[in-house]
Structure 1
Amino acid sequence: MSFAETEINKFKKSNSTGNNVFYQAMEEVIYSIAPLLESDGRYSQHAILERLVVPDRIIQFKVTWLDDNNQVRVNTGYRVQFNNALGPYKGGLRFHPTVNEDVLKFLGFEQILKNSLTGLPIGGAKGGSDFDPKGKSDSEIMKFCKSFMIELHKYIGPRMDVPAGDIGVGTREIGYLFGEYKKITSTYEGVLTGKPFFFGGSLMRPEATGYGAVYFTETMLEMENKEPLKGQICTVSGAGNVALHAIEKLYDIGAVPVSCSDSSGTIYDSRGVDLELLKEIKLEKRLSLEKYLETHSEAKYIPVDEYPEGGHAVWDIPCYAAFPCATQNELTAVDAKNLIENGCISVTEGANMPSTPEAIELLQSHKLCFAPAKAANAGGVVVSEFEMSQNASMSKWSFEKVDNKLKDTMQMICKRVALTAKDYGVEGNYVDGANIAGFKKVADAMIAEGI
């Protein structure tokens, strides 16, 4: 049994079951950093791995609220404060029926290393609720957010824990949460990021993750001596904030994004997807992508149930670069095989852990450029930290300044990951490079602060 397998089994035996997604994320990191742990006795001496994989605290609370029929509704709220060795806890809030402790532990653990890679002074956390905003009125969403903040405010602060948005939590929800925080505390401070601009929010926050993924990919392709994205066919999954802004930035640099998807199916438009129509359908009207055909009948819509089990239509479209931007484990071994056979050169994770371990192994074994989420989708938290800086100094930066700083930071992350991989004998492996670089910085900080 290898060193990594021994460590993984030791941790699993001492912890409860039901943490499948968290274990998947943890195993990837441990396999990557095993050579570092074996070669440097300090990490074992200070029990860094054992300390890193256990959250500082998991906060769970009841959220009661009234719907539009004056019926009392009950949801569960969470905040997983994982590690603050590098700075205040930082990570988004997710409102979605699938939210549970396992999912949030996975997201919070990934956030530690992602935030470390940015080089910015922020720790890792995640939170949210099993509340589903879909189908709810603005009034119901406002009442839920206010009830949620009544509990959450006890555990957050601009130097303690600074939540942001995630799936189901956009500027509307952040505005309601911030408004309630102000009422409770009588303070106007940067306790949340992703705020509306007039509340101290940063320009370019909605665009940050999607734009950042494209900036990272451009740098990765350059470092790996591949053709640039300009003029190339690109496939994108998802139809939310990350996907739409990845598509937007791909158009900006001259690429041709031809797909998007939602929970019902996939749109394939060989001429390039109509971005403005997508924004209208998904952001304004919140409808199914099938509505796209009413305007563009020549495009293809592939329902989820019409594609073979184990794969997804979006990854069976020939492309130069793929951007999974929907949800975890959406790109399977079947999908990876299709991408390889169709001549794909690059895969960039815009969502959190969208590729299964089997898919990643296949992609890497065939020498595709593979950009892992904790590095490639760090743009959101990068601009969130920029928002914290603006709030602290009571200043506002222009769109151009934020965009330039985001591009510089994503290029820095990519180069740091690539150089770390080379230093540790795994040149071209951006998964191992990201895990080692992120871990080292956090681990060294944990050693320096003692126990």
Structure 2
Amino acid sequence: MQQELQEVYDEVLHRNHGEPEFHQAVREVLETLGPVVDKHPEYREHAILRRVVEPERQIIFRVPWVDDSGRVQVNRGFRVQFNSALGPYKGGLRFHPSVNLGIIKFLGFEQVFKNSLTGRGIGGGKGGSDFDPHGRSDGEMMRFCQSFMTELHRHIGEHTDVPAGDIGVGGREIGYMYGQYKRLTNRAEMGVLTGKGIPWGGSRARTEATGYGVVIFADRMLNTVKQSMEGQRVVVSGAGNVAIYAVAKAQELGADVVTVSDSSGYVVDEAGIDLALLQQVKEVERGRLSDYVERRPGARLVQGGRVWDVPCTVALPCATQNELDHHAAETLVKNGTVVVAEGANMPSTPDAVEVFQGAHVLFGPGKAANAGGVATSALEMAQNASREPLTFNEVASKLEGIMERIHHKCASTAEEFGSPGDYVLGANIAGFRKVADAMLEQGVV
């Protein structure tokens, strides 16, 4: 890392103690920006680097609510509004016990560049709570979401900050939060949240978008080596929204998907994941993968170990951050993996990325490969503004075009800066440059 970039990183470490995920995300970007800073000295002169790593606003608040037994519970809520140079803050809300300020900052920082890559007019932010939705009733979810929105509504709006879903936040939770927002503001401001139900402002294909997008990106990466998804053996981690629709799109393109995973372990289904059964278990019943195995002859649940031990040609990490370390990366390389595309946010550790790049495995970082979800959220915002809904096929077609353009932008930028095939460098520089130029033109704010 260049000396100036190292100084910026050292300041981040000094100002943000105990936030390793945020440190990791910042370092991964700064390590690739040397060539673009050399080419554009104005970024130095106007302290763009120091400004881009500092959130514009960090909000932390108390979320009290009453559970079904009548006991008062207290959680902590977060919203980090990271950068609005390109438009209103945009990024999901995560409900999970692991949530803390550092994780929200890492997610928000990544979101800035991901949103830039989509080509839509949206800035970057992220939010959530350390609330655990697992096992909670509909009534408890509603009361929690209403309390969460009672504070959050002060800080968001369709021209200010537009949250969406993430881990633990789906259509049910978005519905409860939008209802409370409407009640508090007396405004049917549909563009304030994305991921809504279709009858009241949601976008068709939004549920599918992130999973579809990561597979489209992986397919375009394969095209660069004269291959496609057809006939590939695919390992997917996770069993949530992103993983399910990554399975769906990969199967649609002719791939053989043999795994999914959750906190109980991973399923190996050599006959190919039964998508309908997986959706029934995870989306309808909100069950565990053990329920899938009980109803799927030939499938087996592996408890412990790593899903990455299963041989594959395409790996799609779609669960959570830092789930794929250098040992797993070495196993994937040894087993002949050709492409790794991140469906989750920063699921590969820095050491794992080094292993992939050293072995010339095509590696698609999350800020590029999983940008389909937020891109479709931006389409939902546009539909809300125009009151003109699109069909599923229209949204799916636009999504494919956006993912193709992101792939092209990452690949061409990497080539421009002398590192052909380096999607990490290409994504970081392409995403950063657009944000940096907007910040320059808007002055010191």
Q: Sort the TM-score into its range (normalised by shorter chain).
A: over 0.9
CA deviation digits over 1:299-329, x for unaligned, max 9? 221102xx2xxxx1x1111111110000000
Deviation at residue 280 of structure 1 after TM alignment: 1.5
1:428 — aligned with what? 421
Asked if the contact 2:267/2:302 (under 8 Å) is kept, the reply is yes
1:173 — aligned with what? 173
Structure 2 Cα separation of the partners of residues 169 and 138 of structure 1: 13
Q: Where does structure 2 lack aligned partners over 5 or more consecutive residues?
A: none
CA deviation digits over 1:109-135, x for unaligned, max 9? 000000000010000000011111111
Structure 1 segment 207-218 matched on structure 2, within 5 A: 207-218=208-219
1:201 — aligned with what? 202
Q: Where does structure 1 lack aligned partners over 5 or more consecutive residues?
A: none
Deviation at residue 8 of structure 1 after TM alignment: 4.6
2:384 — aligned with what? 391
Asked if the contact 1:323/1:348 (under 8 Å) is kept, the reply is yes
Deviation at residue 14 of structure 1 after TM alignment: 3.5
Instruction: State how many pairs are aligned.
Output: 443
Structure 1 Cα separation of the partners of residues 311 and 13 of structure 2: 43
Amino acid at match of 1:397: L
1:188 — aligned with what? 188
Deviation >3 Å, runs of 4+: none
SS of alignment partner, residue 398 of structure 2: helix
Deviation at residue 195 of structure 1 after TM alignment: 0.5
Deviation at residue 9 of structure 1 after TM alignment: 4.5
Asked if the contact 1:235/1:260 (under 8 Å) is kept, the reply is yes
SS of alignment partner, residue 44 of structure 2: helix
Amino acid at match of 1:346: V
Structure 1 segment 117-196 matched on structure 2, within 5 A: 117-189=117-189, 190-196=191-197
Asked if the contact 2:33/2:428 (under 8 Å) is kept, the reply is yes
2:67 — aligned with what? 67
CA deviation digits over 1:262-312, x for unaligned, max 9? 0110101111111111111111222221222212242221102xx2xxxx1
SS of alignment partner, residue 99 of structure 2: coil
1:365 — aligned with what? 358
Would the alpha carbon gap of residues 284 and 13 (structure 1) be closer, same or farther in structure 2, given more than 3 Å must change? Answer: closer
Asked if the contact 2:8/2:49 (under 8 Å) is kept, the reply is no
Structure 1 segment 18-29 matched on structure 2, within 5 A: 18-29=18-29
CA deviation digits over 1:7-59, x for unaligned, max 9? 35432454131110000000000001122113321011010010000100101
1:351 — aligned with what? 344
CA deviation digits over 1:72-130, x for unaligned, max 9? 11111110000000000000011111111000000000000000000100000000111
CA deviation digits over 1:403-431, x for unaligned, max 9? 00000000000001000000000110000
Matching of residue 447 in structure 1 with residue 436 in structure 2: no
Structure 1 Cα separation of the partners of residues 398 and 425 of structure 2: 25
Deviation at residue 226 of structure 1 after TM alignment: 3.4
Asked if the contact 1:231/1:254 (under 8 Å) is kept, the reply is yes
Aligned CA RMSD, in angstroms, stands at 1.1
1:237 — aligned with what? 237
SS of alignment partner, residue 31 of structure 2: helix
Identity over aligned residues, as a percent? Answer: 53
Structure 1 segment 18-417 matched on structure 2, within 5 A: 18-189=18-189, 190-222=191-223, 224-304=224-304, 307=305, 312=306, 314-417=307-410
CA deviation digits over 1:126-165, x for unaligned, max 9? 0011111111100000001011111000000010000000
Amino acid at match of 1:191: V
SS of alignment partner, residue 207 of structure 1: helix
Structure 1 residues 251-260 or 276-285, which shifts more?
276-285
Structure 1 residues 31-40 or 393-402, which shifts more?
31-40
Structure 2 Cα separation of the partners of residues 422 and 234 of structure 1: 28
Structure 2 Cα separation of the partners of residues 426 and 7 of structure 1: 24
Structure 1 Cα separation of the partners of residues 158 and 130 of structure 2: 25
SS of alignment partner, residue 33 of structure 2: helix
Structure 1 Cα separation of the partners of residues 388 and 376 of structure 2: 14
Asked if the contact 1:8/1:27 (under 8 Å) is kept, the reply is no
Deviation at residue 5 of structure 1 after TM alignment: 5.9
Asked if the contact 1:65/1:144 (under 8 Å) is kept, the reply is yes
Amino acid at match of 1:340: V
* Partner residue of 2:411 out of 418, 422, 429: 418
Amino acid at match of 1:229: M
Structure 2 Cα separation of the partners of residues 437 and 13 of structure 1: 25
Structure 1 Cα separation of the partners of residues 37 and 51 of structure 2: 14
Asked if the contact 2:9/2:26 (under 8 Å) is kept, the reply is no
Give TM-score scaled by structure 1 length.
0.96
SS of alignment partner, residue 82 of structure 1: strand
Deviation at residue 4 of structure 1 after TM alignment: 6.2
Matching of residue 17 in structure 1 with residue 17 in structure 2: yes
Would the alpha carbon gap of residues 182 and 12 (structure 1) be closer, same or farther in structure 2, given more than 3 Å must change? Answer: closer
Structure 1 Cα separation of the partners of residues 61 and 213 of structure 2: 34
CA deviation digits over 1:169-213, x for unaligned, max 9? 100000000001111111111100000111100001110000000
Would the alpha carbon gap of residues 148 and 30 (structure 1) be closer, same or farther in structure 2, given more than 3 Å must change? Answer: same
Structure 2 Cα separation of the partners of residues 406 and 9 of structure 1: 35
SS of alignment partner, residue 258 of structure 1: strand
